[in-house]
Amino acid sequence: MTDPRPVNPGVRTVCIDAEHDGQRLDNFLLACFRQVPKARVYRSLRSGEVRVNKGRSRQNYRLKEGDMVRLPPLVSASSPTTGVAPGADLTRVLNDSILFEDEYLLILNKPSGLAVHGGSGQTIGLIEAMRAIRPQQKYLDLAHRLDRETSGVLVLAKRRAALVGLHAALREGEMDKRYLTLLKGRWRGGGRRVDYALRRSSGRNGDRTMLVDAAGQASSTAFTPVQVTELASLMRARPHTGRTHQIRVHAAATQMPVAGDDRYGDREFNRTLRKTGLNRLFLHASRLKFQHPVNEETVQVDAPLPDDLNRVLERLGIDTVPGTDQE
């Protein structure tokens, strides 16, 4: 298929290849124009700006290999051709962060402080940067997300078939995700699950905030102590559901918030930890294990704890734990 992200956006026609055969027309358009408002994309469908084989088509039309799709000149802010490109330092960091790659998947150790996509004041995110670094890669998309301040394992799909399979695994809870996190205070007892339903609440600035609410969506996180002190406890966290900010909210609900969490955390605790050099959220996606969406082999990827977090643990007298040291 012709790349739907040209240097000079304008009316263009693309031929659907086998990679996009069977995809809904609206989903195809939303992928072409990732940061154009959805309402604008759907309006282009209703108005006839989008044509399939020279005729109007419904949003739920399933594309077929060989279909010719007319794309209107909607500006996609996610395109790497918008004039924003990663600098040499970011390019080097991302190339060095690759943990696993094959024909279908690209798995990175995402650095803290980098959003997974641009927008909300971020001129460029990880996905835009990787598309710019690899212009020859016709398809590259996020299989899931990590918060901007969270580091660790992040999966990109290089084929739509892989993305569909990964999304199905996520929906069915078939991805085994493990995190390392530092919580306030001494954890009592062994491992346990925290089950609090969560609901989304929008702040004054449109920020996403999650609240514990029995009427919300069922959510579950398993916490296991690694090493505990009176000041802080190093924990493994395994989310069994995938709600926004889930680990952070569940930790806060136990009165043991995540260190460095400016939204759900404890300000005094965070000030104390800043003296150890902690200037970010102490939450790291350390392991991801799943069945490959195409060849069905088991894929397990471990991301070592970043040096800045290791230094914090050393200053607290907590033994550093490599990302592979997990049950």
| Domain of residue 222, CATH code | 3.30.2350.10
pLDDT band at 119 (very low <50, low <70, confident <90, very high): low
Most confident option among 33-37, 121-125, 212-216: 212-216
Answer yes or no: is pLDDT of 16 > 90.
no
Q: Looking at residue 31, what is its pLDDT? A: 78
- For residues 184-220, one letter each, b for 16 or more C-beta atoms within 10 angstroms of the residue's C-beta and e for the rest, the string is bbebeeeeeebebbbeeeeeeeeeeebeeeeebeebb
pLDDT band at 211 (very low <50, low <70, confident <90, very high): very high
Q: How many angstroms separate the CA atoms of 302 and 285, rounded?
A: 9
**Structural domain contains residue 301:** no
**Structural domain contains residue 35:** yes
Taking the chain, what is the end-to-end CA distance rounded to the nearest angstrom? 43
**Structural domain contains residue 271:** yes
Answer yes or no: is pLDDT of 78 > 60.
no
Residue owning tokens 């996009």: 20
Strand partners, 112: none
Q: Looking at residue 81, what is its pLDDT? A: 39
Compute the mean pLDDT over every residue in the chain, rounded to the nearest whole number.
Answer: 88
Q: Which carries the bigger pLDDT value, residue 34 or residue 283?
A: 283
Q: Looking at residue 36, what is its pLDDT? A: 78
Are residues 285 and 181 part of one domain? yes
Show the domain range for 127: 80-167
User: 273-327 pLDDT, tens per residue?
Assistant: 999 999 999 999 999 999 999 999 999 999 999 999 999 999 999 986 654 445 5
* CA 19 and chain centroid, separation: 23
Q: What is the mean pLDDT of residues 239-265?
A: 96
Answer yes or no: is pLDDT of 197 > 70.
yes
Q: Looking at residue 327, what is its pLDDT? A: 52
Are residues 64 and 87 part of one domain? no
Q: How many angstroms separate the CA atoms of 42 and 21, rounded?
A: 20
Q: How many angstroms separate the CA atoms of 118 and 265, rounded?
A: 25
| Domains contained in the chain, number | 3
**Structural domain contains residue 139:** yes
Are residues 94 and 34 part of one domain? no
Of 1-5, 137-141, 157-161, 199-203, the poorest mean pLDDT is in 1-5
Q: Looking at residue 18, what is its pLDDT? A: 73
Residue owning tokens 């939450």: 283
Answer yes or no: is pLDDT of 8 > 70.
no
**Structural domain contains residue 4:** no
Are residues 272 and 197 part of one domain? yes
Question: What phi and psi, each to the nearest 5 degrees, are found at residue 299?
Answer: -115, 125
Answer yes or no: is pLDDT of 32 > 90.
no
pLDDT band at 35 (very low <50, low <70, confident <90, very high): low
Are residues 223 and 185 part of one domain? yes
Are residues 143 and 109 part of one domain? yes
Q: What is the mean pLDDT of residues 224-243?
A: 96
Are residues 246 and 202 part of one domain? yes
147 as an active site residue: the answer is: yes
pLDDT band at 189 (very low <50, low <70, confident <90, very high): very high
Most confident option among 30-34, 159-163, 253-257: 253-257
Active-site residue, from 141, 147, 266, 302: 147
CB 273 within 8 A of CB 183: no
Are residues 272 and 214 part of one domain? yes
Answer yes or no: is pLDDT of 165 > 50.
yes
**Structural domain contains residue 266:** yes
Are residues 184 and 151 part of one domain? no
**Of residues 228, 264, 259, the one with CA closest to residue 246:** 264
Are residues 285 and 185 part of one domain? yes
**Structural domain contains residue 5:** no
Q: Looking at residue 205, what is its pLDDT? A: 59
**Structural domain contains residue 326:** no
Answer yes or no: is pLDDT of 22 > 90.
no
pLDDT band at 121 (very low <50, low <70, confident <90, very high): low
Q: Looking at residue 118, what is its pLDDT? A: 72
- Distances from the Cα of 218 to the Cα of 57, 214, 223, 264, angstroms: 38, 8, 17, 19
The beta-strand segments (E) located in 25-128 are 51-52, 68-71, 98-101, 105-110
Q: Looking at residue 83, what is its pLDDT? A: 46
Q: Which carries the bigger pLDDT value, residue 133 or residue 22?
A: 133
Q: What is the mean pLDDT of residues 14-36?
A: 81
